[in-house]
Structure 1
Amino acid sequence: MVKLGILVAVAVLLETVSGASLGVVYTEGGMVKGENIRLGLFRRMDVFKGIPFADIPGRFEKPKRHPGWDGVLQATEYRKRCLQVNLLMTDTRGSEDCLYLNIWVPHGSKVSTGLPVMVWIYGGGFLVGGSMGANFLDNYLYSGQEIADRGNVIVVTLGYRVGSLGFLSTGDSDLPGNYGLWDQQAAIAWVHRNIRSFGGDPDNVTIFGESAGGASVSFQTLTPHNKGLFKRAISQSGVALCPWGINKNPRKFAEEVAIKVSCPTDENMAACLKMTDPVALTLAGTLSLSSSPDHPLVENLALSAVIDGDFLPDEPYNLFHNTAGIDYIAGVNDMDGHIFTAFDVPSINSPLVDTPIEDVKRLLTSYTKDKGKAGLENAYSLYTSNWGSSPSQETIKKTIVEIGTDYIFLVPTQTALYLHASNATTGRTYSYLFSQPNRMGGIGRPYPSWMGADHADDLQYVFGKPFTTPLGYWPRHRHVSGYMINYWTNFAKTGDPNKGEKVPATWPKFTTTGHQFLEINSKMDKNYVGQKMRLRYVHFWTSILPSLPTVTSE
Structure 2
Amino acid sequence: MMMAMLGVFISVALILGTANAASLGSVYTEGGMVQGKSHSVGLFRYMDVFKGIPFAAPPGRLEKPVPHPGWDGVLKATDYRMRCMQLNLLATDVVGSEDCLYLNIWIPQGNTVSTNLPVMVFIYGGGFLLGGGQGANFLDNYLYDGQEIADRGNVIVVTFNYRVGSLGFLSSGDADAPGNYGLWDQHTAIAWVHRNIRNFGGNPDNITIFGESAGGASVNFQILSPKNNGLIRRAISQSGVALCPWAVNRNPRQYAEEIATKVGCPTDSGMVACLRRTDPKVVTLAGNVKFSTSASDPIVHNLALSPVIDGDFLPAEPDTLFGNAADIDYIAGVNDMDGHIFATLDIPSINNALVSTPVEEVRALSVALSESRGLDAGIATYEEYTVNWGSKPSDSDIKKTVVDMETDYIFLVPTQTALYLHSDHAKSGRTYSYLFSEPSRIPLFPLWMGADHADDLQYVFGKPFTTPLGYFPRHRDVAKYMISYWTNFAQTGDPNKGESSVPVTWPEFASNGHQYLDINNKINRDSVKQMLRTRLVYYWTTVFASFPGVQKN
The TM-score bracket by the shorter chain reads over 0.9
Partner of 2:519: 520
Q: Residues 45, 373 of structure 1: CA spacing in aligned structure 2 closer, same or farther, 3 A cutoff?
A: same
State how 1:96-135 maps to structure 2 within 5 Å. Answer: 96-135=98-137
Does the alignment pair 1:536 with 2:535?
Answer: yes
Partner of 1:491: 489
Of residues 457, 465, 475 in structure 1, which corresponds to 2:455? 457
Q: CA deviation at 1:96?
A: 0.3
Q: Residues 265, 553 of structure 1: CA spacing in aligned structure 2 closer, same or farther, 3 A cutoff?
A: closer
Q: Which runs of 5+ in 2 are unaligned?
A: none
Partner of 2:548: 549
Partner of 1:37: 39
Of residues 332, 335, 353 in structure 2, which corresponds to 1:333? 335
Of residues 294, 297, 301 in structure 2, which corresponds to 1:295? 297
SS of equivalent residue, structure 2 residue 345: helix
Of residues 39, 47, 50 in structure 2, which corresponds to 1:48? 50
SS of equivalent residue, structure 1 residue 336: coil
Partner of 2:501: 502
How many residues of Structure 1 are paired with residues of Structure 2 in the alignment?
550
Q: CA deviation at 1:11?
A: 2.8
Of residues 452, 472, 475 in structure 2, which corresponds to 1:474? 472
In 1, Cα distance between the equivalents of 2:490 and 2:149? Answer: 11
In 1, Cα distance between the equivalents of 2:158 and 2:437? Answer: 27
Per-residue CA shift, 1:294-344, capped at 9, x if unaligned? Answer: 110011100000000000000000101100000000000000000001000
Q: Retained in 2: the 8 A contact 1:18–1:43?
A: no
In 2, Cα distance between the equivalents of 1:43 and 1:181? Answer: 35
In 2, Cα distance between the equivalents of 1:503 and 1:9? Answer: 34
Partner of 1:286: 288
Q: CA deviation at 1:495?
A: 0.1
Q: What's the % identity of the aligned pairs?
A: 67
Q: CA deviation at 1:552?
A: 5.5
Q: CA deviation at 1:8?
A: 6.5
Partner of 1:93: 95
Does the alignment pair 1:272 with 2:274?
Answer: yes
SS of equivalent residue, structure 1 residue 527: helix
Q: CA deviation at 1:10?
A: 2.6
Q: Is the deviation greater in 445-454 or in 113-122?
A: 445-454
Q: Is the deviation greater in 543-552 or in 477-486?
A: 543-552
SS of equivalent residue, structure 1 residue 410: helix
In 1, Cα distance between the equivalents of 2:111 and 2:347? Answer: 55
Does the alignment pair 1:64 with 2:84?
Answer: no
Q: Retained in 1: the 8 A contact 2:118–2:156?
A: yes
Per-residue CA shift, 1:128-156, capped at 9, x if unaligned? Answer: 00000000000000000000000000000
Of residues 377, 390, 399 in structure 2, which corresponds to 1:375? 377
In 2, Cα distance between the equivalents of 1:35 and 1:263? Answer: 47
Per-residue CA shift, 1:228-263, capped at 9, x if unaligned? Answer: 111000000000000000000000100000001100
- The code of the aligned residue for 1:342 comes to T
SS of equivalent residue, structure 1 residue 26: strand
Q: Retained in 1: the 8 A contact 2:14–2:43?
A: no
Of residues 221, 227, 230 in structure 1, which corresponds to 2:229? 227
In 2, Cα distance between the equivalents of 1:355 and 1:13? Answer: 64
State how 1:199-218 maps to structure 2 within 5 Å. Answer: 199-218=201-220
In 1, Cα distance between the equivalents of 2:236 and 2:516? Answer: 14
Per-residue CA shift, 1:161-183, capped at 9, x if unaligned? Answer: 00000000011000000000000
Q: CA deviation at 1:373?
A: 3.2
Q: Residues 5, 64 of structure 1: CA spacing in aligned structure 2 closer, same or farther, 3 A cutoff?
A: same
Q: Retained in 1: the 8 A contact 2:226–2:324?
A: yes
Q: Retained in 2: the 8 A contact 1:14–1:41?
A: no
TM-score by length of 1: 0.97
Per-residue CA shift, 1:34-81, capped at 9, x if unaligned? Answer: 000101121011000000000000011110111010111110000000
Q: Residues 553, 209 of structure 1: CA spacing in aligned structure 2 closer, same or farther, 3 A cutoff?
A: closer
In 1, Cα distance between the equivalents of 2:165 and 2:402? Answer: 29
State how 1:317-328 maps to structure 2 within 5 Å. Answer: 317-328=319-330
- The code of the aligned residue for 2:501 comes to K
Q: Is the deviation greater in 5-14 or in 509-518?
A: 5-14
Per-residue CA shift, 1:99-122, capped at 9, x if unaligned? Answer: 000000001111100000000000
Q: Residues 8, 428 of structure 1: CA spacing in aligned structure 2 closer, same or farther, 3 A cutoff?
A: closer
In 1, Cα distance between the equivalents of 2:59 and 2:82? Answer: 14
Q: Retained in 1: the 8 A contact 2:123–2:133?
A: yes
In 2, Cα distance between the equivalents of 1:491 and 1:87? Answer: 34
In 1, Cα distance between the equivalents of 2:68 and 2:373? Answer: 50
SS of equivalent residue, structure 2 residue 58: coil
In 1, Cα distance between the equivalents of 2:347 and 2:304? Answer: 21
Q: Which runs of 5+ in 1 are unaligned?
A: none
In 2, Cα distance between the equivalents of 1:553 and 1:3? Answer: 80
In 1, Cα distance between the equivalents of 2:158 and 2:166? Answer: 25
Task: Please tell me the root mean square deviation across aligned C-alpha atoms, in Å.
Answer: 1.3
SS of equivalent residue, structure 2 residue 61: coil
Q: CA deviation at 1:368?
A: 1.0
- The code of the aligned residue for 1:263 comes to C
TM-score by length of 2: 0.98
Q: CA deviation at 1:553?
A: 6.4
SS of equivalent residue, structure 1 residue 317: helix
SS of equivalent residue, structure 1 residue 204: strand
SS of equivalent residue, structure 2 residue 543: helix
Per-residue CA shift, 1:419-465, capped at 9, x if unaligned? Answer: 0000000000000000000011xxxx421111100000000000000
- The code of the aligned residue for 1:537 comes to L
State how 1:305-454 maps to structure 2 within 5 Å. Answer: 305-440=307-442, 445-454=443-452
Does the alignment pair 1:511 with 2:510?
Answer: yes
